[in-house]
Amino acid sequence: MSEDEQLEMLIEQTINGAIAAIPSQLEEIKQSKDILKVENPNEFVFGVIMGMALGMVGALMTAQKGIPTLEDQLKVREIIYKKIPDIREQIFK
């Protein structure tokens, strides 16, 4: 398996884990609405998932081979951004 395929698989696993947590995240926002003061829970969860995907993959890449190069970072963003329609579909269904 190539390095790009491994990276894509890692991103897919990270996003799938984040998507699986959508119901609990929305429930947490609902229960904590007075504290969080979130106007749009779905957009908030979208931001959480994007942050998780970018942050977790960046951290794992750093642990594996040091600080990711700009090229690596752009490659990760490109892969994650391709998944945005699927992520939004899962949140807004």
- What pTM value is reported for the model? 0.84
Distance CA(38)–CA(35), nearest Å, equals 9
pLDDT, tens digit, for every residue of 69-93?
A: 899 889 889 999 999 999 999 999 8
Task: For residue 52, give the nearest of 90, 17, 91 by alpha carbon.
Answer: 17
- Total of domains in the chain: 1
Question: pLDDT tens digits for 41-73?
Answer: 999 999 999 998 988 888 888 888 888 889 988
Rg, Å, the chain Cα set: 15
CA 41 – CA 68 distance, rounded (Å): 32
Structural domain that includes position 16: 3-92
CA distance 4 to 17: 20
Q: How far apart are CA 32 and CA 88, in angstroms?
A: 22
